[in-house]
Structure 1
């Protein structure tokens, strides 16, 4: 099981990613990219729901798990696509888009690391959360 130090490290990297998003908005005085926070909140939801309804320990054979991966991929791609569309339409500038993309990368890698560290064969389960 992961230690408290790894949890503090994950929180630090998540804060760095959100800071990059805030800088991408504040430095260029355009707050439309803050809608990406919705994608940050939605990205772990399909996996949490799939873990709640999957009984076996290895969920790779479940169609529900495949749907979970598909929905999570759609959410992550949308989070990277929204600033690209904003930059293409001239709503935000290219430097703002680069900062937001870097923040997206850091936050989503942190979310992935969290799920890799805190999902194991221990007695704690995400099914108790829902």
Structure 2
């Protein structure tokens, strides 16, 4: 699923001959970083009510990078730097990426694996 998301990222750029949509691919690298640095590689801290400075910072950074993944194509389309089709392909790529993250989260919660 992740590779199809990256493929859609590349297609959004290659079909329209404009590589500005790859900016949102940078956010795909940023999204899992709070889990790796502050959550110990687990996504369980995202649904816990336990707080603390680092846990709250990780939740904030995860949310900000997720919103940034959606905002970058919208801003680029509004500025006229990309076409509407490229923006829609970017949204599809983002949806597939989020589904991948949710599947990983679900699999990491199950102890049967």
- TM-score range (shorter-chain normalised) is 0.7 to 0.9
Find the counterpart in structure 2 of residue 19 from structure 1.
Answer: 7
Tell me the distance in 2 between the aligned counterparts of 1:67 and 1:15.
29
Q: Which segments of 5 or more consecutive residues in structure 1 lack a partner in the other structure?
A: 1-12, 123-130
Q: Aligned-pair RMSD on alpha carbons?
A: 2.1
Measured after TM superposition, the shift of residue 108 of structure 1 is 2.2
1:1-130 alignment runs, 5 A limit: 13-52=1-40, 59-63=48-52, 64-119=54-109
Number of residue-to-residue matches in the alignment: 106
Measured after TM superposition, the shift of residue 118 of structure 1 is 2.3
Question: 1:37-90 CA distances to partner (integer Å, 9 max, x unpaired)?
Answer: 2111110111222223xxxx9953122323211110100100110010000111
Distance 1:34 1:44, change over 3 A: same
Tell me the TM-score normalized by structure 1: 0.72
CA contact (8 A) 2:21 2:86 kept: no
Stretch deviating more after TM superposition (101-110 or 91-100) = 101-110
